[in-house]
Amino acid sequence: MDSPGAHIKDDSIDATHGCILYIEGLTVSFDGFKALNNLNLYIDDGELRCIIGPNGAGKTTMMDVITGKTRPDHGTVFFGQSHDLTKMTEYEISHMGIGRKFQKPTVFLNHTVFENLELALHAKKGVWQSLTRSLVGEQRDTIEEGLETIGLKEQKNLRSALLSHGQKQWLEIGMLLVQNPRLLLIDEPVAGMTHQETERTAELLKSLAGKHSVVVVEHEMDFIRSIANRVTVLHEGHVLADGKMEEVQNDPKVIEVYLGS
Amino acid sequence: MIKKIATLHSFKGWILTFILLGIALVLLPLLNLLVPEESVLHVPDYIFSLLGKYLCYALVALAVDLIWGYTGILSLGHGVFFSMGGYAMGMYLMRSIGKEGVYKSDLPDFMVFLDWKELPWYWYGFDYFAFTLLVILILPGLFAFTFGYFAFRSRIKGVYFAIITQAMTYALMLLFFRNNTGFGGNNGLTDFKRILGYSLHEPSTKVGLYIITIIVLFLSYLLSRYVVRSKLGRILTAIRDAESRVMFSGYNTLHYKLFVWTLSAFLCGIAGALYVPQVGIINPSEMQPSNSIEMAIWVAVGGRGTLSGALIGAGLVNGAKSWFTVAAPDYWLYFLGTLFIVLTLFFPKGLVGFFSRFSSKDKMREPS
């Protein structure tokens, strides 16, 4: 069997043990309230994982810690085997190959769809390079490919403020894709979407798994059922249950805190 | 290189730019020299110093627009950078007076008046224009870089940043007001005689300074235009609109903010240096909090995030100010305040933003 992730060029991330992300003993507290409480979580290379949990379960805080926005009180987050994310800044983590989609769609509203992807594109991101370099053919191709994947080819010269809510969500996912990340963190991708948009999003995310590891935080149960192999339930800052959707759904502990209500 | 510069404007844009340059650089001086003084078309000498002053303000507006209009960081302390350039130039001009001051001493008059016996060390070097030029080009940027590094690294932004820049300009104003600081106290530096050997009272020197100011403004405009149209420019507006997304896209926003903040201070310092010989005085009132606020208003009037807006705003507000301070001096500040409120409420994109709504090009990108 091929070693997982062998197709990905960046070999500085060591995922030879099959895991891309190791979260161990993670604790974060805000004024005494423990948003994360000794959380342990492992994400396999190339898998699509859904994370659910009631409000305040610590889902977004976990994303914040992985992307460097929040520093934990205890615990470690390793990307591959050798990179401790808790010691790195947001932009360094992004450079390592972790892309994040926010809960509220966050795109550059005054830029066109094309420009949004241009800014996100995997490239040297220093001040001098940005001042002097312009796009080369290969980079244009990557952007066009991205436009194709998210289905916004027609809108490429439209100011992104004019996109519908669903289109903005896709654009943001597209911005993550052109960064060529190993791991995608996606926070509530279908919130506020129509039924059709939700279906398209499910297709999109399923097509990404394998090439990338994808972690999706979501509330919408039907959506999770349609995409997930494996579901992790968070509750009060730690993992309550973990497994296939059916198993998790029938777990009495889960029913009590979340699904039953 | 030339090809790259040529793409900074559309053909129409370049035509307009060169028409404006032609009027300012050729037509006005010709009307001054060739047309007899009795004629209506004659351009009097004083116009050049006045226009030169406006052009310096336009350069300041350009600088403020880069940091505020494009990057979304409101500075209410640009008067400091302006004054730094201004004081550096003023010190050179003071030293150029030689022994022709009131007290016929080698020291500047105010030092004689304070009974100082020798030149303070920080005045050394200002006998030389080259040294002065170096200070003008380096000091405001260096100061801004240091200040910005600590402010941006601590992620101070929005209204907090505006307030600390306001505090900075106020603190420096108080410092410069003191006689002991050695910059002429509240009178500042004045009574200049000559620059590089040319008498400042000669009309030809005034026209010369005016022409240099135009050229500097034009080059600064091209530089700014290049910056805002590069990918870096798009990153700056992206920082303004969604900074966290920029960080999570792999950019160290600290470096970008520092770059544009320093560039802005650099341009502002040059503006101050060109301002002083044309106006004939620099004093701490340039660092009054209200002066820096006024600079932001120029940009707001013209239109944040458009370079032409900044230039137009500086021209219009200062034109109005010149008229008001003669016609109804007591009401100027009321007028300015009202203008700012009305603009923010009804024309948030300034005059340029308001009028560009009617141009066909923007309809492609805006909803109709």
Q: What is the token pair recorded at A13?
A: 């991330």
**The two structure tokens encoding residue B136:** 């003008």
Handedness of CA B48, B52, B53, B57 (dihedral sign): positive
H or E segment to which residue A190 belongs: none
A203: closest CA of chain B, how far (Å):
24
Contact B80, B172 (CB under 8 A): yes
Of the given ranges (A150-159, B29-38, B192-201, B304-313), which has the lowest mean pLDDT?
Answer: B29-38
Tally of residues, chain B: 368
SS3 A167: helix
pLDDT 10s digits, B181-211: 999 999 999 999 999 999 999 999 999 999 9
Residues of B in contact with A69 (CB under 8 A): 244
Q: Which residues of B touch A162 (CB under 8 A)?
A: 367
Residues 6+ apart with CB under 8 A from B127: B92, B95
Share of chain B above pLDDT 90, in %: 77
Q: Within the 253-292 window of chain B, which residues sit less than 8 Å (CB to CB) from chain A?
A: 253, 255-256, 259
d(CA B219, CA B271): 12
The pLDDT score that the predictor gives to residue B356 is: 80
**Neighbouring-strand partners of residue A213:** A183
Which residues in chain B have their CB less than 8 angstroms from residue A125's CB?
Answer: 249-252
- Residues shown for chain A: 261
B364: contact with A, CB 8 A cutoff = yes
What span, in angstroms and rounded, lies between the C-alpha atoms of B271 and A45?
Answer: 56
Written in H, E and C, the secondary structure of chain B is CHHHHHCCCCHHHHHHHHHHHHHHHHHHHHHHHHCCCCCCCCCCCHHHHHHHHHHHHHHHHHHHHHHHHHCCCCCCCHHHHHHHHHHHHHHHHHHHCCCCCCCCCCCCHHHHHCCCCCCCHHHCCCCCHHHHHHHHHHHHHHHHHHHHHHHHHCCCCHHHHHHHHHHHHHHHHHHHHCHHHCCCHHHCEECCCEECCEECCCHHHHHHHHHHHHHHHHHHHHHHHHHHHCHHHHHHHHHHHHHHHHHHCCCCHHHHHHHHHHHHHHHHHHHHHHHHHHHCEECHHHHCHHHHHHHHHHHHHHCCCCHHHHHHHHHHHHHHHHHHHHHCHHHHHHHHHHHHHHHHHHCCCHHHHHHHCCCHHHHCCCCC
Contact B303, B57 (CB under 8 A): no
**Arithmetic mean of pLDDT, B283-293:** 95
Give the chain B residue nearest A178 (alpha carbons).
B249
Question: Shortest CB distance from B251 goes to which of A107, A125, A131?
Answer: A125
Asked if B4 has any chain A CB less than 8 Å from its own CB, the reply is no
The pLDDT value given to residue B364: 43
pLDDT confidence of residue A103 = 84
- The yes-or-no verdict on residue A22 having pLDDT over 80 is yes
pLDDT > 70 in chain B, percent: 97
Residue that has been written with the tokens 């060739």 in this structure:
B34
pLDDT exceeds cutoff 70 at B342: yes
Q: Does A104 touch chain B (CB under 8 A)?
A: no
Size of interface A-B (CB pairs under 8 A): 84
Q: In this structure, are residues B268 and B78 in contact, taking their beta carbons and an 8 Å threshold?
A: yes
Tens-place pLDDT, residues B138-188: 999 999 999 999 999 999 989 999 999 999 999 999 999 999 999 999 999
Average pLDDT over residues A27-39: 91
Contacts of B303 (CB under 8 A, 6+ apart): B69, B309, B310, B312, B313, B349, B350, B351, B352, B353, B354
Answer yes or no: is pLDDT of A222 > 90: no
Token readout for A260 is 């039953």
Tell me, yes or no, if B246 comes closer than 8 A to chain A by beta carbon: yes
CA dist A259 → A202, A236, B149 (Å): 21, 15, 49
Average pLDDT over residues A76-103: 91
State the pLDDT at residue A128.
Answer: 94
Chain A residues in contact with B244 (beta carbon < 8 A): 69, 90, 102, 106
Chain A residues with CB under 8 Å of B245 CB are 102, 106-108, 175
Integer-rounded Cα Rg, in Å, for chain A is: 18
pLDDT number for residue B88:
98
Give the mean model confidence (pLDDT) for residues B27-49.
87
Confidence class for position A2, pLDDT limits 50, 70, 90: very low
Amino acid identity of residue B264, one-letter, is S
CB-CB under 8 Å, B253 with A91: yes
CB-count exposure of residue B326 (10 Å: 0-12, 13-18, 19+): exposed
- What's the average model confidence in pLDDT over A141-165? 94
A125/B250 CB distance under 8 A? yes
Angle at A87 between CA A81 and CA A89, to 5 degrees: 110
- Selected for mutation to probe chain A from B70, B224, B232, B249 (highest A CB count within 10 Å) is B249
Residue A9 confidence (pLDDT): 41
Q: Are B289 and B169 in contact (CB under 8 A)?
A: yes
- pLDDT value at position B340? 87
Q: Which two tokens stand for residue A193?
A: 């979407």
**Residue range A171-186: mean pLDDT, rounded:** 92
Nearest to B230 among A106, A112, A130 (CB): A130
Nearest CA in chain B to A157: B365
Which pair of structure tokens corresponds to residue B55? 């052009």
Please check the confidence at residue B10 and state whether its pLDDT lies above 90.
Answer: no
d(CA A178, CA A94): 12
Max Cα distance, chain A (Å): 60
pLDDT for residue B50 is more than 50: yes
pLDDT of A53: 86
Indicate whether A25 pLDDT > 70: yes
What pLDDT is attached to residue B139? 98
> Token digits for B139?
């000091």
List CB contacts of A143: < 8 A, sequence separation 6 or more: A114, A117, A118, A121, A135, A178
pLDDT score for B255: 97
Q: Angle CA(A33)–CA(A39)–CA(A40) in degrees, nearest 5?
A: 175
Q: How far apart are CA A74 and CA A38, in angstroms?
A: 8
Examine the pLDDT at A159 and tell me if it is beyond 90: yes
- Region B293-308 average pLDDT: 94
Q: With bands split at pLDDT 50, 70 and 90, how would you rate the model's confidence at A257?
A: confident
pLDDT tier, A161 (very low <50, low <70, confident <90, very high otherwise):
very high
Where is pLDDT greater, at B46 or B168? B168
Query: What is the average per-residue pLDDT within B284-301?
Result: 95
What tens digit of pLDDT does each residue of A95-143 get?
889 999 988 889 999 999 999 999 999 988 999 999 998 899 999 999 9
A144 CB-near residues (< 8 Å, 6+ apart):
A153
For testing contact with chain B, the best of A127, A164, A182 (most B CBs within 10 A) = A127
Sorted by sequence, the CB contacts under 8 Å of residue A87 that are 6+ apart come out as none
Do residues B148 and B154 make contact, with C-beta atoms less than 8 angstroms apart? no
Residue B127 has pLDDT above 90, yes or no: yes
Mean per-residue pLDDT of chain B = 92
Supply the pTM of this predicted model. 0.90
Residue A8: predicted pLDDT? 40
- Closest CA relative to residue B43, chosen from B23, B29, B53, B25: B29
Contact list, B148 vs chain A (CB under 8 Å): none
Rg of chain B over all Cα atoms, to the nearest angstrom:
21
Predicted confidence band at A259 (pLDDT cuts at 50, 70, 90)? Answer: low
- The DSSP output letter for A112 is B
Provide CB contacts within 8 A for A103, sequence distance 6+: A60, A187, A188, A191
- If you average pLDDT over every residue of chain A, what do you get? 88
pLDDT, residue B180, reads 92
Cβ B250–A95 below 8 Å, yes or no?
yes
pLDDT tens column, B216-232: 999 999 999 999 999 99
Is the pLDDT at B357 greater than 80? The verdict is: no
| Segment (H or E) for A109 | none
Q: What does the pLDDT read at residue A216?
A: 93
pLDDT at B359: 62
Q: Read off φ and ψ for residue A92, nearest 5 degrees.
A: -65, -40
A-chain residue closest to B364, CA distance: A158
Q: With an 8 Å Cβ cutoff, are A158 and B227 in contact?
A: no
Question: Quick one: A47-61+91-260 is in which CATH superfamily?
Answer: P-loop containing nucleotide triphosphate hydrolases (3.40.50.300)
Which 129-188 residues of chain A touch chain B by CB within 8 A? Answer: 130-134, 157-159, 162, 175, 179
Label residues B336-354 b or e (16+ Cβ within 10 Å = b).
beebbeebeeebebbbbbe
